[in-house]
A and B are shown apart, each in its own frame.
Chain A
Amino acid sequence: MRVKRIIGHGIGALILPLWVAVLSAEDSGEGPPGERAAVEEIIEQYIASQGGRERMKSLRRVELEGRMALKSQGLIIEVRQRLESPDKVFVTMEFPGLGTVREIINGNRGWEWHPLTGTRSLEEREVKDHLRDADLQRDLRLFEVYEQIRLAEPEEIEGHMTRHLVLLDREGKEEHWYFKENGDLFQQVRDVPVGPGGEVAIRQRHYDFTTVEGFRFPKVVRIHNPAFEAEITITRCQINPEFDPAIFQIPPSGL
């Protein structure tokens, strides 16, 4: 922490109690006055790096196509994701030797179809995770979305000195975001829901940034968990395409 570094530089014993008080405030989630400004600066830079606040406000719909490779497993999964802000998602995933999985989120309801398991309604937590993606203006409201955002020690990752934020969500779960000097989000460490009631901790790193219609995003995402690694490559991105509303309709079996 910045506070600790100042103490480390040899400030006299007389002012120590003052700093202890500041530390306490930080621990309670308030943060020292300078910290909030530093956090805001990092987030503003992050928003600017993506194309800017005004451009992001204009983002209503996105279609992404790509593939997820589990190279060591010999598996490549084709993914197509259509998002309509704030609460609609349609995802298809083609698994070799298995078939196509479909997931639809519409409002607070979610549905999936899998060749092996058939249909089911998604559970609340799973829907919530999908809505995180569907909310295309989420990054503009991080201070609303998270209970607390703290500045943590910078870290060097793959030769880049990154600025590190700790985000505490409203359920008390921590996420760690690491930003490059230019504002790009380079690494996230968080838990992601996996099926009903499950979750795994992942570290994802972002590479090969590209720009489409003024929006900058990583084409390659590498995911790591102690038990597996995966790489997602985005091959196509469409900004604000027209979608047939029918694709977001949950079939009667999911109601």
Chain B
Amino acid sequence: MLIIKPNPLKWVLLTGAWGLAAHLGLAFPNGKETFERSFDMVWNTVTEAFWDENFNGVDWERVGDRYKGELGQVKDRKDLVVLLQSMLDELGQSHFKILNASAEPLFGASRGGYTGISLKYTPHGAYVVRIEPGSVAHKEGIQVGWKLKSVNGKSTKRIIQSILRAEIPEKRKLFLIQVNLGVRINGSAGKQLRTDWYPSLGGKEKIYLTPARDERERSEPIGFLSEQKLEYEETYLRDRVLYLRFNYFMPALMQKIRLAIEAAEGRAEGLILDLRGNFGGLTIMGTGIAGLLIEEATPLGKMTMRKGLVNYRGYPQEKRFTGPVAILIDSCTISTAEMFAAGLQEAGRARLFGEVSQGDSLPSLLKKLPSGDVLQYALGDFTTPKGNRIEKNGVIPDVLVDADPEALAAGLDLPLQSAMEWLGIMPSLEDDGGT
């Protein structure tokens, strides 16, 4: 019979995504009926799609009854999001989320500003690890290694403590602190921020910053996965090692990454992929980048669904880089970034440096709810080629380099230095604070 085969499905399933935000409509009906339909859609989707028919030991039926009983108390869309998210949290898995920035107070929404500061959180405080050249922070003289004291009078300590007190998994807290501080330090475009610092050499410094409009490149929306602000850095360290840093696995970056890696063959002695703070993206892009680094078809993991199995495999591309590969990861390396790093590590193709990754690693799809919010749901469980589960466990680097406040204050990037030493190049002074 003449039928277009369901071939595109394979790409949708292989693609899988993890995004911070989804497209939210401008006006959606509020009201009891909408809340009930949204609730039912969330509960039914999980009931049908969760890969384990026993819901990993959670009595999902009972959970549904309990939260349905609380639906009558929901007054507005924000209440609904909190209720639905609480219900999803009972599953104890990542990638079951209601995406609506306004209803995620811990998470914080981007306010549209950009100062060019990247912070790294440690239990001893948040330190500047990168200053974008030419940015507001660069012009105001903020330096790598400085420790943030407060933003607009709100102390970093208080922000951190409020998140640490929340009833969420420990590793998730680190991620939320990182994101929350990032949002605060970037502020709103044109709206002056008062920042207080402990500079590396002692003393206190008060600096007023007027954030620029955040005009970083954005990815194109894909379905309900909204555009993401992209960061991409490409440089040669000591003119011998290609260093690539990017914050998402999104199509807009693929061509740059491909060209950089292809050009590195014959020129670079090694490659460092910096996936610290990489929030993931399209799973299939991980297999695409892997294809630029491997000599033969290489499994990167598999997704087991309730009724199906999807393999992620990298295929060697004609132009590829054959030298050694180091990957930097940290507690904010998430999802596709974790799958990619673990796959290449298990294949023996890359050596990993840094911290244990976040452990949020399930391929997911997005579904719009009648309320206008978006449900993100994992459609399968993910395991590495050797059968390890990244979810909750994270990826364990070959060389564990935990964040060291003293080193950060001194502007040193120890994971990068370790990778450089492994690749046989001694870090130079300008490499120490990142690139």
Could you say which residues of chain B place their CB within 8 Å of the CB of A64?
Answer: 2-4
Considering residues A115, A191, A218, which has the most beta carbons from chain B within 10 angstroms of its beta carbon?
A115
Could you say which residues of chain A place their CB within 8 Å of the CB of B200?
Answer: none
Considering residues B3, B219, B317, which has the most beta carbons from chain A within 10 angstroms of its beta carbon?
B3
Interface residues in A186-200 by Cβ distance below 8 A to B read 191-200
Contact B366 A73 (CB under 8 A): yes
Contact A227 B223 (CB under 8 A): no
Per-residue 0/1 for B366-399: is the Cβ within 8 Å of any A Cβ (1 yes, 0 no)? Answer: 1110000000000110000000000000000000
List the one stretch of B164-172, B280-288, B337-345 in contact with chain A. Answer: B280-288
Residue in chain B with minimal CB distance to A103 = B7
Could you say which residues of chain A place their CB within 8 Å of the CB of B282?
Answer: 98, 116
Interface residues in A53-98 by Cβ distance below 8 A to B read 62, 64, 66, 68, 70, 72-75, 77, 79, 81, 91, 93, 95-98
Query: Cβ of B198 < 8 Å from any Cβ of A?
Result: no
Could you say which residues of chain B place their CB within 8 Å of the CB of A130?
Answer: 5
A99 and B318 CA atoms in complex are apart in Å by 20
Could you say which residues of chain A place their CB within 8 Å of the CB of B224?
Answer: 73-74
Could you say which residues of chain B place their CB within 8 Å of the CB of A139?
Answer: 1
How large, as a class, is the contact surface on chain A?
35 or more
A116 and B291 CA atoms in complex are apart in Å by 10
Query: Cβ of B347 < 8 Å from any Cβ of A?
Result: no
Query: Cβ of A143 < 8 Å from any Cβ of B?
Result: no
Contact B251 A99 (CB under 8 A): yes
* Interface residues of B, count at CB 8 A: 56
A135: min CB distance to chain B, Å = 12
Contact A79 B291 (CB under 8 A): no
Contact B365 A73 (CB under 8 A): yes
Query: Cβ of B222 < 8 Å from any Cβ of A?
Result: yes
Residue in chain A with minimal CB distance to B374 = A74
Contact B311 A227 (CB under 8 A): no
Contact A117 B7 (CB under 8 A): no
A77 and B10 CA atoms in complex are apart in Å by 12
Per-residue 0/1 for A176-187: is the Cβ within 8 Å of any B Cβ (1 yes, 0 no)? Answer: 000000000100
Query: Cβ of A109 < 8 Å from any Cβ of B?
Result: no
B400: min CB distance to chain A, Å = 31
List the one stretch of B64-72, B185-193, B302-310, B415-423 in contact with chain A. Answer: B302-310
Interface residues in B328-379 by Cβ distance below 8 A to A read 365-368, 379
A114 and B254 CA atoms in complex are apart in Å by 11
A253 and B306 CA atoms in complex are apart in Å by 36
Contact A117 B1 (CB under 8 A): no
Query: Cβ of A215 < 8 Å from any Cβ of B?
Result: yes
Contact B14 A195 (CB under 8 A): yes
Which 6 pairs, one residue from A and one from B, show the smallest C-beta to C-beta distance? Answer: A200-B308, A120-B315, A97-B220, A201-B307, A97-B222, A227-B379
